[in-house]
Amino acid sequence: MCGIHTAAGESIGHDHHDDHDDVGTAGAPARVFLPRPRQRTRRAFLGDFGAGTVAVALFTPTLLAACGSEADSDVGLAAAAVSPTGGSEIPTRRASQATAGNESDADLRWARTDLGFVSAYVLARGNTAAIVDTGTTGSAAAIGESLTGLGLNWSDVEHVILTHKHPDHIGSIDEVVAEAINATVYAGEADLSEIETSPVTGLVGGEDIFGFEAVATPGHTAGHMVVIDHDAGLLVAGDAIFGEGGGVAEGPERFFADVEQSRESIRQLAGLSFNTLLMGHGEPIEIGADTAVADLAASFG
């Protein structure tokens, strides 16, 4: 645990990692916002599904590829995100409304493919899967292990959603498409010109994919997209929001095409209801994530 937080869980701006000294226009430390405690609701998550964990790819130099074009600064990001153990695990979770009854095909399960400093995610309902982001080059095997951990295989993948065009998110798209032969690939319309795989279906926001709503969240890149399952209360945010210190933060400005536009997108996300937040960088938040995002948005003034 790092930083200083009030009893109410509100964060006090602090310098989380020395390697963040070189980010931001003024070298300001990232402000981290933690989820606030609140009463559990019917949407409260059921917690661990008990599926255990699956070891996956370890941190390798290839994972230092840039989120954006400035590889030098990503080394700091990568170092910040590597777990103390140096290993990676794929937790599998089940998200559903806390209603009585048997598990149905509508129940959403998810698994994180922790690739070191960036993550991909597998979402599953029944025997159908969607993959969100593909990590850097060489990540397909690890994503395949996440599928296996959910009891699925490549032929069950019907959707591959790319949140944005950066190489740490689309690096394995060709490998993934070669395996997931039944999948449709999606990405934000404005990022399509820099995603060299085919075919890719352009998104503008408002589309329904697999029970997830695509939401346009420009700023990090012009075509950045997130997806949210409103019923399960799960948001997959790509790089629209960065995870840090168990909470959320704005990402380093140098990785953002348009910071003001990104803040407007975060304000938009702050108006949504979700418990679980899965981000491209940093640890997932599984309870009360929307409170942290609301506090982040409020900090913009």
Shortest spacing between CB 173 and Zn ion, in angstroms = 14
Min dist CB 267 to Zn ion, Å, is 19
Question: Interface with Zn ion includes 74 (CB under 5 A)?
Answer: no
Q: Which stretch binds Zn ion (CB under 5 A): 22-30, 62-70, 101-109, 123-131?
A: 62-70
Question: Cβ closer to Zn ion: 232 or 236?
Answer: 236
| Location of structure tokens 């990568």 | 78
Q: 32, 54, 67, 266: which one contacts Zn ion (CB under 5 A)?
A: 67
CB of 74 to Zn ion, least distance (A): 9
The piece of 3-11, 37-45, 175-183, 274-282 that touches Zn ion (CB under 5 A) is 274-282
Interstrand relation of 201-203 and 89-95 (parallel, antiparallel or unpaired): unpaired
DSSP string for residues in the chain: --SEE-TTS-EE-----GGGTT-STT-PPPP-BPPPP----TT----EEEEEEEE-PPP-GGGG--SSS-HHHHHHHHHHHS-TTS--EEEEEEE----SS---TT-EEEEEEE-SSSEEEEEEETTEEEEE---STT-HHHHHHHHHHTT--GGGEEEEEES-S-HHHHTTHHHHHHH-TT-EEEEEGGGGGG--SS--EEE-S--EETTEEEEE-TTSSTT-EEEEETTTTEEEEETSSEEETTEEEPPPGGG-S-HHHHHHHHHHHHTS--SEEEESSS--B-SSHHHHHHHHHHTT-
Quick one: which of 74, 133, 168, 283 contacts Zn ion (CB under 5 A)?
168
Question: Least distance to Zn ion from the beta carbon of 255, Å?
Answer: 6
CB of 66 to Zn ion, least distance (A): 9
Of 188, 280, 282, 288, which lies in the binding site for Zn ion, with binding defined by CB under 5 A? 280
**Total residues in contact with Zn ion, by rule CB under 5 A:** 5
| Binding map of Zn ion across residues 228-257, x = CB under 5 A, - = no contact | -----------x------------------
- The span from the CA of 200 to the CA of 188, in Å, is 9
Q: Is 76 in the site for Zn ion (CB under 5 A)?
A: no
Which residue from 31, 93, 166, 263 is in contact with Zn ion, where contact means CB under 5 A? 166
Is the Cβ of residue 158 or residue 264 nearer to Zn ion in the bound state?
A: 264
Nearest residue (CB) to Zn ion, 223 versus 247: 223
When asked if residue 16 is in the footprint of Zn ion (CB under 5 A), the reply is no
Q: Which residues are near Zn ion by CB under 5 A?
A: 67, 166, 168, 239, 280
